[in-house]
């Protein structure tokens, strides 16, 4: 009976090892990248605190989300800022923790989740920019 119990334990542990070995590693930003993002998000949050839609538009990749109907700052302010940057969302971004990750293109991204929305900031050749606002799933 003792041998059978030992065999069952070994078999169970053997099944668990692959699950732990295959767990994905959490992406970690370099110190330089983190500092660059910290500098960017401080400016972004200052613009939100001042409710400065023009400044926020200047920190977004345009056309926004590859939508040519949101190709300039005026269109961004009208179609995106007025809808998605409510007082509640501005306050959330002010205090929200940014989470680092890499996307399928191996781009460096930070995400801030506010209720049903996910604000995505991506490292581009021009520095960090707001690149997407999506549904928080």
Residue 90 belongs to some domain of the structure: yes
Residue 13 belongs to some domain of the structure: no
Tell me the CATH number at 40: 3.10.450
Statement: residue 12 has pLDDT above 60: no
Average pLDDT value over all residues in the chain: 87
Residue 118 belongs to some domain of the structure: yes
**Confidence at residue 9, expressed as pLDDT on a 0 to 100 scale:** 43
Task: Quote the number of domains for the chain.
Answer: 1
**Strand, helix or coil for residue 83:** helix
User: How does pLDDT run across 82-128, given as a tens digit for each residue?
Assistant: 999 999 999 999 999 999 999 989 999 999 999 999 999 999 999 99
Range of the domain at 112: 27-135
Residue 116 belongs to some domain of the structure: yes
E strands, the chain, where? 99-102, 108-114, 117-124, 127-135
Statement: residue 11 has pLDDT above 60: no
Q: What is the pTM of this model?
A: 0.81
Residue 88 belongs to some domain of the structure: yes
β-pair partners for 133: 119
Q: What is the DSSP string of 29-63?
A: --HHHHHHHHHHHHHHHHHHHTT-HHHHHHTB-SS
pLDDT-above-70 percentage for the chain:
82
User: How does pLDDT run across 19-78, given as a tens digit for each residue?
Assistant: 444 545 678 999 999 999 999 999 999 999 999 999 999 999 999 999 999 999 999 999
**Confidence at residue 24, expressed as pLDDT on a 0 to 100 scale:** 55
Residue 129 belongs to some domain of the structure: yes
Residue 16 belongs to some domain of the structure: no
**Confidence at residue 133, expressed as pLDDT on a 0 to 100 scale:** 97
**Confidence at residue 20, expressed as pLDDT on a 0 to 100 scale:** 45
**Confidence at residue 77, expressed as pLDDT on a 0 to 100 scale:** 97
Would you say 93 and 83 are in contact if contact means Cβ atoms under 8 Å apart? Answer: no
**Confidence at residue 64, expressed as pLDDT on a 0 to 100 scale:** 97
Residue 117 belongs to some domain of the structure: yes
């Amino acid at each position: 009976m003792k041998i059978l119990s030992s065999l069952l334990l070994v078999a169970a542990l053997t099944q668990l090892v692959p699950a732990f070995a295959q767990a994905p590693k959490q992406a970690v930003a370099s110190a330089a990248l983190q500092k660059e993002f910290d500098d960017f998000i401080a400016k972004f949050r200052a613009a939100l605190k001042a409710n400065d839609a023009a400044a926020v538009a200047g920190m977004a990749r345009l056309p926004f989300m590859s939508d040519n109907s949101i190709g300039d700052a005026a269109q961004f302010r009208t179609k995106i800022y007025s809808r998605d940057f409510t007082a509640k969302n501005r306050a959330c971004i002010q205090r929200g923790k940014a989470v680092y990750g890499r996307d399928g293109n191996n781009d460096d991204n930070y995400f801030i989740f506010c209720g049903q929305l996910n604000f995505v900031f991506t490292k581009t050749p021009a520095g960090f920019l707001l690149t997407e606002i999506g549904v928080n799933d």
